[in-house]
Structure 1
Amino acid sequence: MEKLVILNDSDNVAIATTDLAAKDTVNVNERQLNLLAAVPAGNKVALTDLAAGEPIVKFGQHIGTLTADVKAGQLVDEHNLSDAAEDDAKSTSPAADLSKYLTKQTLMGYRRKSGKVGIRNDLFIVPTVGCITPLMDVMVQQFKAAHPDNGSFDNIILLKHPYGCSQLGEDFEQTRQILCDAALHPNAGGVLVFGLGCENNQMDGMKETIEKMAGIDPDRMKFLVAQEVKNEFATAQEMLEELNTAAANDHREPVPLSELKVGLQSVQPAAVSPLTADRLLGHLANVINANGGSTVLTGLPNLAAAEDELVKQSASQEAAADVQHVFGHMRDYYAEFDQQLVSEPSAKEQAKGITTAKELAVNTLQTAGDAAISGAISYGKKVSAAGLNVLEAPANDLIDSSAEAAADCQLVVVSTGVATPYASFVPSVKVAADSALAAKKQRWFDFDGGQALTKPFDELAKEFVDDIIAIASGKETSNEKAGLHGLAIFKIGVTE
């Protein structure tokens, strides 16, 4: 295992893969580097003598400016590095050529009447309001009693949430929007939208929104208002049986990778995440984007310090304007509560080697690979542009993955340095940052990213991409095996 790794040819620092002791001599880039101090895993070491005022470059990006002279082999951290001035924070990497990621691989998906492609044939039960969610459990129990194998469906997913009533303004509108987004997701082979009858989020409003968005297919989408029928359970079973019959002949067929939309997340990264799981996500993003698919990166607070870079990396003026719009909207939201969108790294993050806000943003951005940004999406909106998209959402694990799913991502891939069982209402692939974590929680993880420290990266990256394509073609994720699915909606404003 290499002890120090250079992430980009233009970097002037290397990253420690493990804790290194002072006075160690380490081979890096075919030369010996004498360490002047202890270097914790994930932290940065200067490759050459550098003077105060010089930029520190990591991932090919300027992450900060030295506040003191440093020697080759010296630790670069909060004691000698500060955030770069905005005017100086420029990418040093040339425009990416993704041609080497082109592949003839395909996935096996479900082609919907709308033209969209799903990677699952799931049954979604979508409540208009939170107070009726306990009734959905009974509905599923009754359906599974008749269909222990889920009938025509891969999974039965209850999109439980606590909202739909006592909401006002934008808060109410975005709750309805996310629920309609979910109802129209291509992974759903059948949908039952279930309401109470007296909630704010009335069924007529749901129908109107869905009709405007894409139209209603009555064979695949049913609507039930409990207060309007004598026996909601009997009526629900009739509707579910109709959906089951409609989906009976659905089948997978080969589709190109250009049909794949993947949400990307880095959640509570470990010190080695940029060298392991994050790096694998970046490679996956390059493969998908090179082949005409779409990737979606969110968690705007973690990206905010790199907003200028994201604007510069946009593929068009329209995309750049959209990037500025979503960041501006999120910044205004934070300002309403006297908060700053950009925050300095915590002591815990600094211990993992993240010294500046710009470095935190650059680390997060690497999970999205090297493509130019083709679009930026407001919360609750669908992906429309192939390539890398930035999505407005607040850097909360489940809210972000739900927003990516609502945007039509057929699966979400998560790099993480902690064990967490959360999952969205689409397959949620968990990539462990280190092998010990992957071994400890095998039932929660889908891939051991820690292998990147012991196996040739190109070999592991191919294995990872093949595994993602297998999952897109029907291989169950850990959350699906355990029956874990979730939905979290971004809550704002006041209630009445």
Structure 2
Amino acid sequence: MLEYIKINNKDNVAVALTDLEKDYAVNIDGEEIILKESIKRGHKFALKNMKKDDKVIKYGMLIGILIKDTEKGCLLHTSNIKTSLGDILNYEYNPNLTSLEKRESSYFYGYPRKNGKIGIRNDIWIIPTVGCVNAVCKQLELDFNAKINNPDLRAIAFPHPYGCSQMGDDQESTRKALADMILHQNAGAVLVLGLGCENTGIEILKEYIGEYDKERVVFLSCQEFDDEYAKSLEVLDNLYNLIKDEQRVKTDASKLVVGLKCGGSDGLSGITANPLVGEFSDILISKGGSTILTEVPEMFGAETNLMNRCENKDIFDKTVSLINDFKMYYKNYDMPIYENPSPGNKEGGISTLEDKSNGCIQKSGTANVVDVLEYGQRIEKQGLNLLSAPGNDLVSSTALALSGAHIVLFTTGRGTPFSCPVPTIKISSNTNLYKRKKNWMDFNAGSIVEDKDKKTLAEELFEFVLSIASGEKTSSEKMNSYDWAIFKKGVTL
């Protein structure tokens, strides 16, 4: 097992891959360095004597500025590094485009939909238009699943607190999110349960949905029925009988859309799990598939890497707006732009937002950026897409699902039990987490620093994703865990 790593030849720091004791001797680039203090796994240490205001380089990129002199072999972290980031910036388009070699087709088994989309699940989704009917939706889920007792086809309720007392952008976001959920290809059938007096009523919502399969999507307004619960159960029975015998068909992987997300990152996330997902992204795109990268605040400090990979100037301009508009969102609320990283990130070895961001964007691989999506906008172009959403795990993972992701790959160094509306594959950055939290985690990237080559492991991850797309359950699905959160910015009436 590797004990430490210098990630890029340009770096003036190395990262401990296991806990290293004070006075331990490391050998990097032919030079022996004696550690002046203990370095925890995931944390950085200096490879040379450095002065105050010197640049700290990791991933070959600037991740911060020293705030005091630091000797070779000493810890580099929040006590002696500060962010180098500024405010709203101007950018120049300096394209650095790649051409992924087209690879032979791969296949999974999915459910064809009338609109030409392919689903990888065939459950019945129960979607409230407003939070007032959440309890009814949840009780319907529990009772109907107990009745049918079918582990391969479930009713899943998606409660939320919105749909009324909203205005402006928040109301738009809720309506887009509900419409995207109702139309999502992973839902075999949908019961949309309204109250009858909410802002986002059924008739208004239909305007956002547009064309839909009227056999599979049924709207019900609770105030119109003496017993809305009995009527809803009747609808669920009909939907179940409609879809229960449907079979999967062989489907080209070019139809697959995968969201890319990280959360609870540690110092190994940018070394193991995120680069592994980037390798996966390149494999899928080379086979004609698509990936979506989000968490805009966790692009700050690494955004030029993405901008220079935009396939043309129009996409570059959209990416500039993506970044600066999100910064303005913070400024409009008098909030600091660079509050990230979280306490857990720092404990795991991440010191600044640039440190986190340059590790975060490793998930995007090397493919060119083909499009930039607004929140709630469905994916249209095959390839690597960027999506406007915050870093919050539930909000951003939900946003990926709303934009059409069949699956979300979620990398983590600390672990989490959460899942979003679509199958969420949780990938551990370290083997200890994978072994300790087997009920949470699905795939181990920690073996990259132990006994596995990254490209070999990426092929294994790709095959694992195809198996999930073909019906194998993720850890969170086995726990019947389905979460979602709609992005909210403004006031509540």
Taking structure 1 as the reference length, the TM-score comes to 0.89
Change (3 A) 1:406 1:330: same
What letter matches 1:171 in structure 2? D
Change (3 A) 1:80 1:191: same
Of 277-286 and 201-210, more deviation after overlay is shown by: 277-286
Contact 1:260–1:294 at 8 Å: present in 2 too?
A: yes
Of 261-270 and 402-411, more deviation after overlay is shown by: 261-270
Give CA-to-partner distance per residue, 1:191-227, whole Å, 9 cap, x none: 111111111111101111111xxx1211111111111
The residue that corresponds to 1:363 in the other structure is 359
The residue that corresponds to 2:212 in the other structure is 216
- Give the drift of 1:61: 2.9
How many angstroms apart in 1 are the aligned matches of 2:51 and 2:323? 34
The residue that corresponds to 1:61 in the other structure is 61
Is 1:148 aligned to 2:145, yes or no?
no
The residue that corresponds to 1:473 in the other structure is 470
How many angstroms apart in 2 are the aligned matches of 1:365 and 1:491? 25
What letter matches 1:282 in structure 2? G
SS of the residue 2:405 aligns to: coil
Aligned length: 489
The residue that corresponds to 2:334 in the other structure is 338
Give CA-to-partner distance per residue, 1:422-468, whole Å, 9 cap, x none: 11111111112222222222112112332223222233333222212
- Give the drift of 1:266: 1.3
Contact 2:11–2:59 at 8 Å: present in 1 too?
A: yes
Of 452-461 and 179-188, more deviation after overlay is shown by: 452-461
SS of the residue 1:62 aligns to: strand
What letter matches 2:252 in structure 1? P
Is 1:201 aligned to 2:200, yes or no?
yes
How many angstroms apart in 1 are the aligned matches of 2:145 and 2:170? 35
What letter matches 1:292 in structure 2? G
Give CA-to-partner distance per residue, 1:280-326, whole Å, 9 cap, x none: 22222222222222212222222223334432232221211221222
Of 171-180 and 63-72, more deviation after overlay is shown by: 63-72
How many angstroms apart in 2 are the aligned matches of 1:85 and 1:218? 51
Change (3 A) 1:470 1:399: same
What letter matches 2:3 in structure 1? K
How many angstroms apart in 2 are the aligned matches of 1:3 and 1:386? 39
Contact 1:62–1:89 at 8 Å: present in 2 too?
A: no
The residue that corresponds to 2:173 in the other structure is 174
Contact 1:302–1:342 at 8 Å: present in 2 too?
A: no
SS of the residue 2:292 aligns to: strand
Instruction: Please list, as runs of the form range in 1=range in 2, the aligned pairs for 1:211-290 lying within 5 A after superposition.
Output: 211=210, 215-290=211-286
How many angstroms apart in 1 are the aligned matches of 2:175 and 2:96? 42
Contact 2:401–2:407 at 8 Å: present in 1 too?
A: yes
Give CA-to-partner distance per residue, 1:82-126, whole Å, 9 cap, x none: 545779999999655543x83532211222111112111121111
Contact 1:282–1:368 at 8 Å: present in 2 too?
A: yes
Identity %: 34
- Give the drift of 1:349: 4.1
The residue that corresponds to 1:318 in the other structure is 314
How many angstroms apart in 2 are the aligned matches of 1:394 and 1:312? 22
What letter matches 1:359 in structure 2? D
Unmatched runs of 5 consecutive residues or more in structure 1 = none
Change (3 A) 1:33 1:156: farther
Of 53-62 and 432-441, more deviation after overlay is shown by: 53-62
Contact 2:111–2:118 at 8 Å: present in 1 too?
A: yes
- RMSD value, Cα: 3.0
Unmatched runs of 5 consecutive residues or more in structure 2 = none
How many angstroms apart in 1 are the aligned matches of 2:97 and 2:50? 27
Give CA-to-partner distance per residue, 1:371-405, whole Å, 9 cap, x none: 22222211111122222222111211111111111
The residue that corresponds to 2:458 in the other structure is 461
Taking structure 2 as the reference length, the TM-score comes to 0.89
How many angstroms apart in 2 are the aligned matches of 1:324 and 1:7? 28
SS of the residue 2:378 aligns to: coil
The residue that corresponds to 2:162 in the other structure is 163
